[in-house]
Amino acid sequence: MQPNDPHDPSERSGGNESYTPIPDGYKVGKTKFIIVTGSVMSGVGKGTFTGCLGTLLSLEGLRVSPVKFDGYLNYDAGTMNPFRHGEVFVLNDGTEGDLDLGSYERYLNRDITKDNYLTGGKIFKTIIDKERAGKYLGRDVQFIPHVTGEIKKFLRELAIKDNSDIVLVEVGGTIGDLENSYFVEAMRELRYEEGRNNVMFVNVTYVIEPNSLNEFKSKAAQIGIRQLMALGVQPDIVVARSQHPVTQKIKEKLSIFADVPVDRVYNLYDMGNIYEIPLVLKELGIDKAIFQILNTSEKPNKDKVLNMKNWRELVDKIKSAKRKVTIAIVGKYTDVQDSYLSVIKALEHAAPYAGVKVNIKWIESGDIDDKKISVGDALKDVDGLIVPGGFGSRGVEGKIGVIKYAREHNVPYLGLCYGMQLAVVEFARDVCGLKGANTTEVDPKTKYPVIDIIPDQAEKLSKSQVGGTMRLGGYTAKLKKGSLANKLYGQETAVERHRHRFELAPAFHEILEKNGMSISGVWPKRNLAEFVEIPSHKYFIASQAHLEFTSRPLRPSPLFVGLLKACV
- Per-residue model confidence as pLDDT tens digits over 145-168: 999 999 999 999 999 999 999 999
Annotated catalytic residue: which of 364, 441, 548, 567?
A: 548
Whether residues 354 and 226 share a domain: the answer is: no
% pLDDT > 70, the chain: 95
pLDDT band at 390 (very low <50, low <70, confident <90, very high): confident
Question: In the predicted model, is pLDDT for residue 414 greater than 60?
Answer: yes
Mean residue pLDDT across the chain: 92
Higher per-residue pLDDT: 441 or 456 = 441
Domain end position, chosen among 274, 294, 314: 294
Same domain, 422 and 516: yes
- Looking at residue 366, which CATH number applies to its domain? 3.40.50.880
Does residue 471 lie within any of the structural domains?
yes
Q: What is the pLDDT of residue 20?
A: 83
Domain boundary among 256, 277, 294: 294
Share of the chain above pLDDT 90, in %: 82
Q: What's the confidence (pLDDT) of residue 457?
A: 60
Determine the pLDDT at residue 214.
Answer: 81
Residue 10 lies in a domain: no
* Residue 338 sits in the same domain as residue 256: no
Longest pairwise C-alpha distance within the chain: 83
Q: Is residue 4 part of a domain?
A: no
Of 355, 365, 419, 362, the residue nearest 387 (C-alpha): 419
Same domain assignment for residues 461 and 528: yes
d(CA 331, CA 388): 7
Last residue of a domain, one of 294, 312, 343: 294
Closest CA to 148 of 193, 117, 109, 107: 193
| Mean pLDDT on 236-253 | 95
Residue 313 domain-assigned (yes or no): no
- pLDDT, greater one: 86 or 246: 246
pLDDT at 43: 81
| 348 & 283 share domain | no
How far apart are alpha carbons 425 and 275 in whole angstroms?
39
417, 426, 432, 498: which one is catalytic? 417
Are 422 and 485 in the same domain? yes
Specify whether 407 is located in the same domain as 283: no
Average pLDDT over residues 373-377: 93
Residues 222 and 289 in one domain: yes
Is 417 marked active-site?
yes
| Residue-number span of the structural domain to which 28 is assigned | 16-294
Q: pLDDT for 514-561, tens place per residue?
A: 999 999 999 999 899 999 999 999 999 999 999 999 999 999 999 999
Identify whether 524 is part of a domain: yes
Tens of pLDDT, residues 172-188: 999 989 999 999 999 99
Count of domains observed in the chain: 2
Known catalytic residue at 146: no
Looking at residues 322-341, what average pLDDT do you find?
A: 91
What CATH number should be reported for the domain holding residue 220?
3.40.50.300
Is the confidence at residue 301, as pLDDT, over 80? yes
Backbone angles phi, psi at 266, to 5 degrees: -110, 140
**Are 397 and 536 within one domain?**
yes
pLDDT (0 to 100) of residue 9: 42
Residue 548 designated active-site? yes
Are 278 and 356 within one domain? no
285/336 same-domain check: no
Does the structure show a pLDDT above 70 at 465? no
Q: Using an 8 Å Cβ cutoff, are 98 and 70 in contact?
A: yes
Do 277 and 334 fall into the same domain? no
Asked whether residue 490 is assigned to any structural domain, the reply reads: yes
- Sheet strands side by side (includes 502-504): 438-439, 449-453, 502-504
